[in-house]
Amino acid sequence: MIWNAFAIAVREIGRNLTRAFLTVLGIFIGVASIITMVTLGEGATLAVKAQISSLGSNLLTLRPGAGFGQRGSSAGVPSFTERDAETLGEQIASIAAIAPVRTASLSTIYLGNARASTITGTTPIYFQINKWSLAEGRLFTDLDVRSGSAVCVIGNTVRVELFGTENPIGASIRIGRASCEVIGLLATKGQAGMGDQDDTIIMPLSSLQRRLIGKTSSHDINQISISAVEGTNSLELIAEITQIMRQRRNLQSNQDNDFNIFDTRQIAETLGSTTQLMTMLLAAVAGVSLLVGGIGIMNIMLVSVTERTHEIGIRLAIGATASEVLLQFLVEAVTLSCIGGIVGILIALGLCYGLAQVIKVPFNFNTQINVIAFAFSAIVGVLFGYTPARRAAKLNPIDALRHE
């Protein structure tokens, strides 16, 4: 009987391909849209999360000047000294690591290629604080800092711009007036909220101060990088740092801070909640598209069953039982729903894979959403294919036959 119903169902599907196509299309759109939306949304969320974690999660950066980003306000404000960094490190227990930083914008030249770069002078702990890892070569050491060697480590963007396909390790580049040996290449971090992190050249602080910057204020630093001990309350840490720095900079109680503290954890939290919002929004949109898909399937199924009540009447009149007619409709609905669901999943995954390359987010296969989308569409398809057919099959054959 099942085989019989299957034969009849397949024959019926083949007989009205337009109707079959529309049914499959409704299911296909529902399945494909939700899978595409959720998969790409998750990819984007993952990409944002990866970039946030590449910044370092408990990192504080001290800069002179009243506010972050207001470059003008740092003019005339005294910069920090290496001693400031040492004092903070000594006095605050919740500081895990601290690195003095001096930056300078200088032109860099290798053979014919020249470009303006931001040069960071610091100590080796800086790599750890900012979560830099090495791709090739070596990082500079405390010994390099003490001796002020003319060595530097470059980011991937600099490598591409200056060296192209050439191996940069061991090459000598010209930075400002001095020449400097490239000893290491940093692993790429990518774009973060604040520009290209890979566009960087890092060298020992002493080398930058002695070789690249003039004698005046050569011991000043213009940034202090701090990583906090895991689990530290960053607001308390910021308060402690503020207190010490105000003392060291002789600020009166009526004076505003002439330095600012940039907390990546706060940024991460902000970005994190934004991402979460984005994910929720995507889930809502996906939910609506699933609902719309479901209504589409429902419509086609309802219309086709109404249209087919007459057919049900004919089948009953020539001796089919209600359960045989229903089995046929059930097999038809299951077959069409499965075809639509499988095609939807395949096309959605292909689409996601392609789009993920284009918009540069990771392609993340989520089994759960594929199963949910498939199950939802299949259930809607079967439910709305089967329920009206059940009503029609319960009619007296003559009443079903009157539907034209």
Residues in 140-179 that interact with other proteins by CB under 8 A: none
Stretch that binds other proteins, among 186-194, 267-275, 311-319, 360-368 (CB under 8 A): 311-319
Task: From residue 316, give the alpha-carbon distance in Å to each of 237, 282, 333.
Answer: 81, 47, 19
Q: What phi and psi values does residue 105 have, to the nearest 5 degrees?
A: -95, 120
Residue 306 binding other proteins, by CB under 8 A: no
Total residues at interface with other proteins (CB under 8 A): 27
Half-sphere exposure of 166 (CA within 13 A, CB side): 15
3-state secondary structure of 318: coil
Residue 16 binding other proteins, by CB under 8 A: yes
Residue 10 binding other proteins, by CB under 8 A: no
- Nearest-angstrom CA–CA distance, 391 and 106: 81
Handedness of CA 211, 213, 217, 220 (dihedral sign): negative
Residue 133 binding other proteins, by CB under 8 A: no
Joined tokens for residue 152:
């530097």
- Nearest-angstrom CA–CA distance, 50 and 200: 20
Residue 11 binding other proteins, by CB under 8 A: yes
Residue 7 binding other proteins, by CB under 8 A: yes
Residue 323 binding other proteins, by CB under 8 A: yes
How far apart are the two ends of the chain, measured CA to CA in Å? 28
- Nearest-angstrom CA–CA distance, 238 and 66: 15
Complex with other proteins: residue 236 or 307, whichever CB lies closer = 307
Least distance (Å) from other proteins to the CB of residue 389?
Answer: 15
- Nearest-angstrom CA–CA distance, 303 and 9: 18
Each residue 342-381 as x (binds other proteins by CB under 8 A) or -, in order, gives: ----------------------------------------
Give the residue, chosen from 271, 311, 335, 352, that forms a contact with other proteins under the rule CB under 8 A. 311
- Nearest-angstrom CA–CA distance, 22 and 54: 47
Complex with other proteins: residue 20 or 151, whichever CB lies closer = 20
Q: Which residues bind other proteins (CB under 8 A)?
A: 1, 4, 7-8, 11, 15-16, 310-311, 313-324, 394, 396-399, 401
